[in-house]
Structure formats: C-alpha cells, structure tokens
Structure 1
Amino acid sequence: MTVIGYAPGAYDLFHVGHLNILKHAAEHCDRLIAGVVSDEMLLLTKGRAPVIPLAERMEIVSNLRFVDAVHAEVVPDKVDTWREVRFDVIFKGDDWRGTAKGEKLERDFAEVGVRVHYFPYTMHTSSTILRKALAAIDAEAPVGRGARVLTS
C-alpha cells in the first residue's frame, strides 16, 4: 500500500526549516504532497499576507526532488483539504504538539483515519525571524547612497 503524506505550510521566504520538514516528511511516506497555503488563507489565519506570492511559492516547492506534487491550500479546514487530496499522514512541526490547535488537528484527523506526524521545529530559522530581520535592514537603509526613493 502506498502511503501518501501531506506537508502543509506557507513556505514563505523559503528557508532551511521548510527544507527540513519537507525532506523529513518524504522519508516517512511513499508520495509527498506539499500543501502551499494561499495568500488569502494566510491573511485569514495569520493576519498577514506572504512576502512571496502563491504561484512563486508553489514553483519553489515543486522543484524540490523529494516533493511529488504541490497543492494550493485555499480552505481553512485541513479536513476539507483532505477531502480534496486524500492523504494518509499529515506532517506538522512539533511547535503544534500539545497545543489546542494541534490537539484539534489530531482529533479531526483521527475521525478520518489520518495520522498526525510531528517533526522538530527549526528554532534558529523561521519566516517570522527573517521578516523581522528584513524590516530592521529596511529601517536602517540610508536613502541616497545608491538607493532610490520611488514616489507615485
């Protein structure tokens, strides 16, 4: 029997933490589908739009040799996504383990026979840290020395 795995994520500002979860997920299934959360769903669930648009994030993830397929995740409920994609195991970072959202995920997927598999969260790198670093660099960038200010 082929085990189909699903690894959802924003995959915004793609970094080694994203690479790690996808690489480890591929080691625990026969076919890996990466769910790339849409811009609208990120705005709805996280309150912010991604830096990189959905089509570009999907292109990046689809070009990893261990990702077999990419799915644009356009609904907030992961079980609704499962109804479209049909996977046997869902992969999440262990920052979800023991949280209310992680426990709900486990309950919801237990009802449809899907296993939740957690991987260690890469603490030293995250899109949030990268976003803050970029904002700090942007705030410190001097106007003038080669930079142009565009006005409408």
Structure 2
Amino acid sequence: MSRVITFGTYDVLHIGHIKLLKRAKSLGSHLIVGVSSDELNQNKKGRGPIYPLKSRLEIISSLRFVDEVFVEDSLELKAEYIISNNADILVMGDDWQGRFDHLNEYCKVVYLPRTPSISTTEVIEIIKETK
C-alpha cells in the first residue's frame, strides 16, 4: 500500500482536522503528518499557535490513524519532506487547490474537500466572543 503525507498546524484540533486525516489515511497504509513549527505558523497566519509545537505533536501522534509525525519548518521544503519520507501521495485540503500541483513529479497530489463551516480561526473567534 501507499505512504501518504499531509501537513498542517493542527492548533485547536477540531472535527475538520479529524475528518481530513481519516480520509488521508484511507488513501494508503501509512499516514505521515507534518506539523507546522510555531515559527512557520507565525509567518503563515500572522499569529502564533494557541498550543505550542510539543503539545500539537503529541496530540496528532496520539491519533490511532496517524503513523508518524514530524516538524514542518518551511512551506518551501515540501518536496524534500516527500522524498525523505518516501511518500507516494500528498494530501492537502482543497483550500490549497492547485498550489502544490508542481509536486506531482515526486508523488500523486490529492486535494480533499474541507469540512464545511469549521476552521481553527473560526473556533478561536467563537471562544474569544464567549469570554
């Protein structure tokens, strides 16, 4: 079977994350997850994560359908991460549609639909409003 790789921050874990990771795992026999470093999250989203990297790595690695986790330090290193992890399939949410098509030379790129009406940013805003 295939080795599947995906990436994310996984801050304030929610059902959208779980559904995407389960669907990613269903495409192969081994799921590898790159968890964005705190610095990458700051650069990517303009804010630091709620939970520190160590906690996010532990949360994601504890999921039964996740086989391996590692730290993603740069969006520009996806090809290197694919090669070093011997990945056959790269899975990304469809909000990234087309952005990683150039990686098809290293593995099959699959964009999966996101779960409607849920995002980490949305969850954080709801929490802030209820304080």
TM-score where L is the length of structure 1: 0.80
Distance, in Å, in 2 between the alignment partners of 1:28 and 1:83 is 18
User: In the alignment, which of 123, 128, 144 is matched to residue 116 of structure 2?
Assistant: 123
Which fold has the larger relative contact order, with Cα–Cα distance below 8 Å and residues 6 or more apart in sequence? 2
Partner of 2:55: 56
What's the CA shift string for 1:87-121, capped at 9, x where partnerless?
11111111222xxxxx24111x1232x11112111
Measure how far apart 1:45 and its partner are. Answer: 1.7
Measure how far apart 1:128 and its partner are. Answer: 0.8
Distance, in Å, in 1 between the alignment partners of 2:123 and 2:42 is 18
Structure 1 runs not aligned, ≥5 long: 98-102, 139-152
Q: Which moved more, 1:47-56 or 1:75-84?
A: 75-84
Distance, in Å, in 1 between the alignment partners of 2:43 and 2:95 is 20
The one-letter code of the counterpart of 1:11 is Y
The one-letter code of the counterpart of 2:117 is H
Partner of 1:87: 87
Distance, in Å, in 1 between the alignment partners of 2:35 and 2:114 is 18
SS in 2 for 1:56: helix
Larger radius of gyration: 1
The one-letter code of the counterpart of 1:106 is D
User: In the alignment, which of 111, 134, 140 is matched to residue 105 of structure 2?
Assistant: 111
Residues 1:58 and 1:47: Cα distance change in structure 2 (over 3 Å):
same
For the pair 1:135 / 2:111, whether they are aligned, the reply is: no
Distance, in Å, in 1 between the alignment partners of 2:66 and 2:14 is 16
Q: In 2, are the aligned partners of 1:75 and 1:81 still within 8 Å (CA)? A: no
Give the length in aligned residue pairs.
130
Measure how far apart 1:4 and its partner are. Answer: 0.6
Distance, in Å, in 2 between the alignment partners of 1:124 and 1:110 is 29
Cα RMSD for the two superposed structures: 1.3
